Amino acid sequence: MFSSFNAIVPMSCVTAAALAAMVAEAFREPGERMPIGPLGAIGLAGAAASSLLLWNRNASSFGVVSADNFGLFVTWILIIVGTLSLAISEPTIDRERLPRGEYYALMLFAIAGMMLMATASDLLLIFLALEVLSLAVYVLTGIRRDQPAATEAALKYFLLGAFSSAFFLYGIAFTYGLTGSTRLDRVGGLIAAQARSPAPMQLLAIGLLLVGFAFKVSAVPFHMWTPDAYEGAPPAVTGFMSTGVKAAAFAAFVRVFLSAFEPLRAGWGNIVWVVAAATMIVGTVVGVSQSSVKRMLAYSSIAHGGYLLVALLAANDVGKGAILFYLLTYAITNVGAFGVIAVVEGTVDANDRVRDYAGLGHSHPVLAALMTVFLLSLGGFPPMAGFIAKWYVFSAAVKAGDNGLAIIGVLTSVVAVFFYLRIVVMMYMTPGDRSAQFPAIPRMAGLALVVSAALVIYLGILPTRVLDWAAASISTIY
């Protein structure tokens, strides 16, 4: 009987930690510094241990949650993202005087929703997980209630998110009407048994589901919320939602489209091709013109979503492993980049403009070196992890015969180098005495940044084992 609950143990540990954070906040005296953050670390440690024990067991809970190796690999990515995000959040919480218990509880509830979304094997459960994580992230985006920019960002994110959720729910309804089920295995079997050419209603269901997923992964033309939300949210929250939400959404995207809707690839393949190309181009071209570092990284995130769509579209032996490896490397790199922004951000000055980083290499050499590692990885420079990730994505596209998409990806990567190196040049080659305007780096935040940079370099130099794990993990859903 209890074995039926095995698959939900990792997310249960995180949920229990979130509830503990809420209770601790309720009993905290005004002004008291209660160590609520470690509660989240304990929950994530429990999730990591239970995920390790579930590896290779293909556990399932009630037929709608599948703790296969694919879901567990994404769960590990989310655990890493959650741990790093908790560590880099301390400077923001202290500086902005944010409600500590509320902040950590919302972040943990969002992680639980992400884990559920990555392991759900039923369309309705994917929708519920999507709403759980979305509501928590909406509130985190606007948690700085006294700042109009944060309120505007949260409102835009919420309204557009509700709009996309309606599309996604309609897609589920049409899928149920066509197949009589929302279970992905049954949907896939029934679609495969139906007519060879996609019916109009099937294409409509796929299109509606695609809109919902495209919004969450910031794909063009559903990316409008991304720059404002990333700019208005605290840097630690921006790093968290730019990586965790994308990882969970792509996990569900892969499970739905490469498993249940694989027989209809002829119907959705061309659409995804156009979306991937547009996402890479728009994210790169518009990102070049940004003077805000957070908005620049927002458009960078859009472009990286396009690269992930390239791997999803290829879906060959190389592409399948590249999806998970890219998610892992992007998550670690982007959380690290926003962690530096969280540390650099001051109480008075946001330090968000590219020119604000002038002289950082002289006043804070370690911080500048860490930021350089993250930016070079995002740009795809060897020997950073980003180079290996992009190499496998483009190799998968060429192997699948998508030479045009691979060319677009390479060209946009070359253009993107400009806005990454612009910050590096500003840090090291532009004079500026900023030493008095940057606060001291908290110990846990500094440790998280060093660990992130070390992982980026390690995955760039010795990626083979992790790539093998990624390829073996994603094969469990086919």
Residues 360-374 as b or e (16 or more Cβ within 10 Å = b): bbbbbeebbebbbbb
Where residue 256 falls among pLDDT bands split at 50, 70, 90? Answer: very high
**Would you state the pLDDT for residue 350?**
62
The Cα–Cα gap between 253 and 249 comes to 6
Beta bridge partners of 122: 183
- Cis peptide, bond prior to residue 148, ω within 30 of zero: no
> Which alpha helices (DSSP H) does 256-357 contain, by range?
265-288, 293-314, 317-344
- DSSP assignment of 34-99: ---HHHHHHHHHHHHHHHHHHTTS-EEETTTEEE-HHHHHHHHHHHHHHHHHHHHHHHHHHHHT--
Structure tokens at 257: 């489209």
Q: What is the mean pLDDT of the chain?
A: 88
Position 1 pLDDT exceeds 70: no
pTM for this one? Answer: 0.94
Contact (Cβ atoms closer than 8 angstroms) between residue 117 and residue 253: no
The Cα–Cα gap between 7 and 437 comes to 48
SS3 content of the chain, % helix, strand, coil (to 5): 80, 0, 20
One-letter amino acid at 220 equals V
* pLDDT tens-digit map of 303-332: 999 999 999 998 777 778 889 999 999 999
* pLDDT tens-digit map of 77-107: 999 999 999 999 988 888 888 888 889 999 9
* pLDDT tens-digit map of 442-467: 788 889 999 999 999 999 999 999 99
* pLDDT tens-digit map of 150-207: 899 999 999 989 989 999 999 999 999 988 889 998 898 888 887 566 678 888 999 9
